[in-house]
């Protein structure tokens, strides 16, 4: 890993999946567990790109299914880092269904806490995050707030 600070843009990640018959549940909608796997992979990729390390998922906050998805839907998953602690990182992941005109409907939102690990699977310090826009500053402050709430719940 490098200790140099990185920007949000440097680890931003977007993936695209087509909903196939094998991804459906008994009600012919996209199975939530499949979507959770896809968004966990995006969160992990963002965290790996930021930290330059192997990472693990420590917790997921506010995982919210806003709308369903169906066979042949194009699923776009976008992840970005919003906050870093010492070894932990918050990654925000948004999921959309994109139609043939390119319009995207928001179907899922989640905040992941990912922890960077060294070669002995121990938490390791991650690069600082350089905030370049007001939106990134706001996202950082909201992540700090979520961290405080999480700590209160853990007491």
Ligand X SMILES: CC(C)(COP(=O)(O)OP(=O)(O)OC[C@H]1O[C@@H](n2cnc3c(N)ncnc32)[C@H](O)[C@@H]1OP(=O)(O)O)[C@@H](O)C(=O)NCCC(=O)NCCS
Q: Which of 41, 107, 49, 48 is nearest to 73 (CA)?
A: 107
Q: Which of 108, 101, 40 is nearest to 69 (CA)?
A: 108
The contact pattern for ligand X, residues 62-101, with x = CB under 6 A and - = no contact, is -----------------------xxxx-------------
Q: Strand pairing partners for 30?
A: 24
The contact pattern for ligand X, residues 122-141, with x = CB under 6 A and - = no contact, is -x------------------
Residue 92 φ then ψ, to 5°: -100, 130
Min. distance of Cβ 21 from ligand X in angstroms?
26
Rounded distance, CA 146 to CA 123, Å?
Answer: 21
For ligand X, which residue has the nearest CB? 85
Question: Between 59 and 71, whose beta carbon lies closer to ligand X?
Answer: 59
Q: For residue 45, how far is the Cα from the chain centroid?
A: 9
Q: Decide: is 115 part of the binding site for ligand X (CB under 6 A).
A: yes
Question: Between 96 and 112, whose beta carbon lies closer to ligand X?
Answer: 112
Question: Between 2 and 154, whose beta carbon lies closer to ligand X?
Answer: 154
Q: Decide: is 52 part of the binding site for ligand X (CB under 6 A).
A: no
Min. distance of Cβ 96 from ligand X in angstroms?
25
Which residue bears the tokens 């992990």? Answer: 44
Which DSSP string corresponds to 4-71?
A: S-EESGGG-EEEEEE--GGGB-TTSSB-HHHHHHHHHHHHHHHHHHHHSSEEEEEEEEEEEE-S---T
Interface with ligand X: number of residues (CB under 6 A)? 12
Q: Decide: is 37 part of the binding site for ligand X (CB under 6 A).
A: no
Residues in contact with ligand X by the rule CB under 6 A:
56-59, 85-88, 113, 115, 123, 150
């Amino acid at each position: 890993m490098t200790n140099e600070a990185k920007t949000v843009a440097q680890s931003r990640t977007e993936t695209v999946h087509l909903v196939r018959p094998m991804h459906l549940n008994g009600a012919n909608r996209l199975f939530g567990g499949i979507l959770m796997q896809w968004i966990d992979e995006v969160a992990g990729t963002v965290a790996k790109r930021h930290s330059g390390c192997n990472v693990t998922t420590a917790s997921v906050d506010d995982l919210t299914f806003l709308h369903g998805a169906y066979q042949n839907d194009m699923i776009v998953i976008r992840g970005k880092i919003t906050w870093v602690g010492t070894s932990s990182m918050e990654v925000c992941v948004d999921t959309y269904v994109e139609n043939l005109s390119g319009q995207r409907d928001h179907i899922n939102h989640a905040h992941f806490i990912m922890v960077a690990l060294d070669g002995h699977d121990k938490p390791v310090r991650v690069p600082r995050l350089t905030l370049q826009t007001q939106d990134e500053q706001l996202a950082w402050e909201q992540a700090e707030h979520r961290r405080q709430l999480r700590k209160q719940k853990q007491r």
